[in-house]
Chains A and B, each alone.
Chain A
Amino acid sequence: MTDAGPFHDPGRVAALAARIERLAGLLPRPATLMEVCGTHTHAIGEAGLRRLLPTNVRLVAGPGCPVCVTPVDYLDHAIALAMRPDVTIGTFGDLVRVPASRRDSLERASARGADVRIVYSPRDALALARALPQRTVVFLAVGFETTMPTIAAALTEAEATGVANFRVLCGAKLLEPPLRALVADPELRVDGFLLPGHVSVILGADFYRFLTADCGVAAVIAGFAPVEIQQGIAELLEQLVARRPRVANLYPRAVSAGGNRTAQALLARWFVPVDTRWRGLGSIPASGLALRPEFAHRDAAQLAVSLPEPLEPKGCRCGDVLRGSISPPGCPLFARGCNPDHPIGACMVSSEGTCAAWYRHERPVRAADA
């Protein structure tokens, strides 16, 4: 997507801001909306859309940044594997600087001699395994339903071409369980979700029916351009004003009703749901993915390592930010010790992280907001 074109048109953004203002005037009570996806958080910050919102509409960031919700014990595990002399780690770039226990990180492990390689795709990690037949290449499988099919595809390729030294450390997360947990959070009182565009490409619009049927909240699938986000917010307010929650698909150019069936089938073939821990949300039943038992030979968790006692960074409130209970400036470390150059918490590291987005785009205006 480019920064020009009809979906970035300032005239449409302004007209939609007026529509949002008018609808907000009809709301029975102040509304809390949540953008679930980290890419939305950055797009909203970059376009300055939060500042255009009426005062009775609160838009909070959700748990959709995979790196941010990955708990420290996963990173401790990845570092322990990285320190094995026979292991090469392949990982997406934003994971290497995320603080683990005791301010360790993959970056620091790399400085101590561990072989940590940043890759763009799980396929690159597979290529690495082919190039380094004497070593075990472990790909750090962190992500939601958008990323996990790409990892399943790489695993399928590894099986088909007999690359035995390729494994994954599974830290996958599913979208539905945390959405249900957030709806049930009495402190947050979320009225509507701006649903993630790319996860929806895989899952399809029909996947979200539970939000209407079981949760009774407003929901919209929207793209990432300013006009699309504004349109999404207006749609959520329309549903709230009419008291008719539904799942609106305003991103039909990419999202179908049924989603990407090929990707869904590949996910089901390789993985099964498993209880997993989230930074900020704690343990949620069946909210993660693990490799099926028949693929244990691909599971890096089978490699012997000793793990330290997990320790979250002191004073860091990433957990509250991820639950939407505070905005980043509400954390005592935000811009005071914790910044993108010296991140203390995960949300400041990732390109999708809420704190990183606020630090870059929303700090001067909302510094007093908590």
Chain B
Amino acid sequence: MQLTDRREFEGTATLHGVRRTVSLLLCPEVVVGDHVLVHAGFVIGRLDEQEAAATLALLDEGLAREREANDRAAGEAAS
């Protein structure tokens, strides 16, 4: 969900147009625009989009290496 509005210790979190009032007591540092994790009506953490991209890049790099190794092994087996 994304924080689309905040008042002092409350805010509005939105996902696909569904809006929920959430408490920010457990995560007062969030700002409007943050992707947030909501549990039982409370924001409990932020979701870091940069970290998500980094995790994915690292995974894809590893998978590409494995694919190359497989292709090489298959090539050697065929020759």
Contact = CB atoms under 8 A, between A and B. Distances in A.
Interface stretch (A148-156, A182-190, A293-301): A148-156
A266 B26 contact: yes
Given A19-B63, A252-B55, A121 B41 contact: yes
Contacts of B42: 121, 123, 149-150, 153
Interface string B41-79: 110111111011011100110010011001000000000
Contacts of A202: 44-45
Interface in A140-178: 146-147, 149-150, 153, 156-157
B26 A16 contact: no
A122 interface: yes
A237 B63 CA distance: 16
A12 interface: yes
A77 interface: no
A2 B15 CA distance: 10
Nearest to A19: B66
Interface in A298-317: none
A103 B9 CA distance: 42
A124 interface: yes
A2 B27 CA distance: 23
A120 B42 CA distance: 11
Contacts of B16: 2
Q: Is the interface of A mostly helix, strand, loop or mixed?
A: helix
A352 to B, nearest CB: 13
Contacts of B60: 12
A18 interface: yes
A277 interface: no
A112 interface: no
A120 B18 CA distance: 15
A227 B39 contact: no
B2 interface: no
Nearest to B9: A157
B28 interface: yes
A202 B27 CA distance: 10
A122 B41 contact: yes
A153 B55 CA distance: 32
Given A153-B23, A156-B25, A266-B26, A254 B47 contact: yes
B40 A147 contact: yes
Contacts of A2: 16
Nearest to A143: B40
18 contacts: A6-B56, A7-B56, A12-B60, A12-B63, A18-B70, A22-B66, A122-B40, A122-B41, A123-B41, A123-B42, A153-B26, A156-B25, A198-B37, A198-B44, A254-B37, A260-B26, A260-B44, A260-B45
Given A22-B66, A263-B26, 16 more contacts: A15-B63, A18-B66, A18-B70, A92-B40, A120-B41, A121-B41, A124-B41, A147-B39, A149-B26, A149-B44, A150-B41, A150-B44, A157-B25, A253-B49, A260-B45, A262-B27
Interface of B: 16, 23, 25-28, 37, 39-42, 44-49, 51-52, 54-56, 59-60, 63, 66-67, 70
What are the 3 tightest A-B residue pairs by CB atom distance, in nearest-first order? Answer: A121-B41, A253-B51, A253-B52
